[in-house]
Amino acid sequence: MTQAITTTEKHNAAGERVVISPDEFGSGAPMEVGRTGVRDKKLIYPEMGFDAATLCLGVVEIDPGHHSPLHRHNCEEVYLVIEGTGYVEQEGETFPLNTGDAVLNRVNVDHRVFNTGDTTMRLAVVGGIMLVPLLPTWPTDSPYEILEPAGEN
């Protein structure tokens, strides 16, 4: 039987980051720039010091009456609704969301989430690492393509 080693450090013996605390979560993702009512917190991302090879993890918070901007990206993404009610729109179709529901956003599908409840909606977001070389056919120099002007939320 292997005995667990307990540490208060956030990096393993090889120097790789393992843990991030809420006071270290990143912000400033494209979907929150120039908007109110939407926060896109970066947790397990390369820019947060993690060397994850295929996945990233974030938390999106949407205030009542607001929505994330219509956008798409060059990777799959899943949501778990931690808290709240609303709906997800994908390619113009809407699907109701409640606490505990999960969503799959496929590659390059236009999507956004609306909060129709009276509390902040919180989504755990897992996506593919979007740092793959961007193809010449991708329409922007960012892995995100925001399709809705800032201020429309």
Which tens digits make up the pLDDT trace of 36-77?
A: 999 999 999 888 888 888 888 999 999 999 999 998 888 899
140 pLDDT tier (thresholds 50, 70, 90):
low
**Phi and psi of 23, rounded to 5°?**
-75, -5
pLDDT score recorded for residue 73: 85
Q: Residue 96: pLDDT above 80? A: yes
Q: Which domains does the chain have, with CATH numbers?
A: 35-130 (2.60.120.10)
Instruction: Lowest mean pLDDT of 50-64, 79-93, 113-127, name the range.
Output: 50-64
pLDDT score recorded for residue 98: 98
What is the C-alpha to C-alpha distance for residues 153 and 135, in angstroms, rounded to an integer?
29
Q: What is the mean pLDDT of the chain?
A: 85
Query: What tokens were used for 105?
Result: 């956003």
pLDDT score recorded for residue 95: 98
Q: Residue 5: pLDDT above 90? A: no
CA–CA–CA angle 130, 125, 27 (5° rounding): 75
Nearest residue to 83 via CA among 65, 114, 61: 61
What is the C-alpha to C-alpha distance for residues 92 and 72, in angstroms, rounded to an integer?
13
pLDDT score recorded for residue 143: 61
CA-only gyration radius of the chain, Å: 17
Say if residues 72 and 87 touch (Cβ distance below 8 Å). Answer: no
Helices (H), 9-99: none
Beta strands (DSSP E) in 74-132 are 77-83, 86-90, 93-97, 102-105, 111-115, 121-128
What global pTM score does this model have? Answer: 0.82
Residue 47, strand partner residues: none
